[in-house]
């Protein structure tokens, strides 16, 4: 009598915030290629999300779930985790990528801007991690936070943004301590990967790249590769760390 076919191992599941475009979409594509099925969060970029989901579904049907939410709405945070686990049955990786970024010059900054920048860059990652923690412990999973080199090196005119990213750096370390040994928690600090949506003058671009030892911008794929590594068994003894992917900018002054 033939033996029954061996059960296939459950596919790993990742929840990625801000996944519709730019770095978030690159992370989604890389994790999908690595074999993850994905819960993909977006806020406003519906057309971009539909295109990304169609692309990934063509490669592996049934491998994605699109989730729309404003991360400033507290009750949507545990809901994102619950819908992910309800759909896929497990959670192995949380990638806190979504971020608001804009200047808040001293003398002009408002409480609303404070709330908005901290909501996406610090508050949502904390409460998403809190909701995800029991599921990640069950799978011995991981969290990867996208911080910024300006979380410890201030950027003129962006004090509130830098403060929020600094909070996310500390959250990374705190979660690494509190969720150990079952869950590893790390962060990535990108340098010049993509210019802001509003653009940057050629002069400003040249001045910035002059401080980058590698002399060029990075690629979203560089960040996606770092996320994939931190989520993998190859990084199994790495937690509480901030990995700079900045072309050496931090040492370039």
What are the structural domains, with CATH classification, of the chain?
A: 13-248 (3.40.50.720)
* pLDDT computed for residue 103 by the predictor: 92
DSSP helix/strand/coil, 214: coil
* pLDDT computed for residue 28 by the predictor: 98
- Smallest Cα–Cα separation from 164: which of 208, 107, 125, 196? 125
* pLDDT computed for residue 192 by the predictor: 77
- Smallest Cα–Cα separation from 23: which of 122, 101, 79, 124? 101
Strand extents, DSSP E, the chain: 13-16, 37-42, 64-68, 93-96, 142-146, 184-190, 242-245
pLDDT (tens, 9 = 90+) of the chain, 253 residues, equals 455 444 456 799 999 999 999 999 999 999 999 999 999 999 999 999 999 999 999 999 999 999 999 999 999 999 999 999 999 999 999 999 999 999 999 999 999 999 999 999 999 999 999 999 999 999 999 999 999 988 888 889 999 999 999 999 999 999 999 999 999 999 999 987 776 665 555 666 666 666 776 777 788 999 999 999 999 999 999 999 999 988 777 776 5
Candidates 42, 102, 161, 237; catalytic one: 161
* pLDDT computed for residue 82 by the predictor: 98
Q: What are phi and psi of 66, to 5 degrees?
A: -90, 135
Catalytic residue status for 161: yes
* pLDDT computed for residue 253 by the predictor: 58
* pLDDT computed for residue 239 by the predictor: 98
Q: How many CB atoms lie within 10 A of CB 106?
A: 9
Distances (CA, A) of 171 to 32, 36, 76, 146, 165: 26, 25, 20, 11, 10
* pLDDT computed for residue 150 by the predictor: 86
């Amino acid at each position: 009598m033939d033996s029954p076919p061996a059960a296939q191992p459950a596919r790993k599941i990742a929840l990625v915030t801000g996944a519709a475009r730019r770095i978030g979409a690159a992370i989604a594509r890389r994790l999908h290629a690595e074999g993850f099925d994905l819960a993909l969060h977006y806020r406003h970029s519906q057309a971009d999300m539909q295109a990304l989901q169609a692309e990934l579904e063509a490669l592996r049907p049934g491998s994605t779930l699109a989730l729309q939410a404003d991360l400033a709405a507290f009750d949507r945070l545990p809901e994102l985790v619950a819908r992910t686990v309800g759909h896929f049955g497990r959670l192995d990786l949380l990638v806190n990528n979504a971020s608001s970024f804009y200047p808040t010059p001293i003398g002009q900054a408002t409480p609303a801007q404070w709330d908005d920048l901290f909501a996406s860059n610090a508050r949502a990652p904390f409460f998403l991690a809190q909701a995800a923690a029991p599921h990640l412990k069950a799978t011995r999973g991981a969290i990867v936070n996208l911080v910024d080199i300006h979380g410890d090196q201030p950027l003129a005119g962006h004090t509130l943004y830098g403060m929020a990213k600094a909070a996310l750096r500390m959250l990374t370390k705190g979660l690494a301590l509190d969720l150990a040994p079952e869950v590893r928690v790390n962060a990535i600090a990108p340098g010049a990967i993509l210019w802001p949506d509003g653009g940057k003058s050629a002069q400003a671009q040249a001045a910035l790249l002059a401080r980058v030892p590698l002399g060029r911008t990075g690629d979203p794929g560089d960040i996606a590769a770092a996320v994939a590594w931190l989520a993998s068994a190859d990084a199994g003894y790495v937690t509480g760390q901030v990995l700079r992917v900045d072309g050496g900018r931090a040492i370039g002054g």
